[in-house]
Amino acid sequence: MKTLICIVCPRGCHLNVDEENDYKVTGHHCEKGEIYGRNELLHPVRVVTSTVKVKSNIHPRCPVKTDQSIPKENIFPAMRLLDSVLLTPPIKRGDVVVDDVAGSGACFVVTRDLDT
């Protein structure tokens, strides 16, 4: 039996996932928590947030995130891809910074506008 805290919403339900009983989930208050509990043991994924360098004296970094969840084991390879990124303003929210992150099909996208 594995215990987890559901991170899907702020309620933070304490989940129990029984690996020996077809990953049966208990302790959830909604279906999303049941799905999260199973997936967290079978195929954990995360949206990854970080920052990248910007050629600017005002804003030296710009926030980015993946546009969809990626497998947890791809997080560190994904972060390394950002080390070589250098953006030049103007930058628009939604601009793609890295395509097909670590072969996941997700993109890193900018999450704010930077004009200078």
Considering the complex, state which of residue 5 and residue 96 has its C-beta at the smaller distance from ligand SF4.
5
Which residues contribute to the site for ligand SF4 (CB under 6 A)? 6, 8-9, 11-13, 28-30, 32-33
Helix H or strand E segment including 71: strand 70-71
Considering the complex, state which of residue 29 and residue 112 has its C-beta at the smaller distance from ligand SF4.
29
Tokens of 75: 């997080």
CB of 61 to ligand SF4, least distance (A): 32
Q: Any bridge partners for residue 16, and if so which?
A: 3, 26
CB of 35 to ligand SF4, least distance (A): 9
Q: What is the chain's length?
A: 116
Tokens of 41: 């043991």
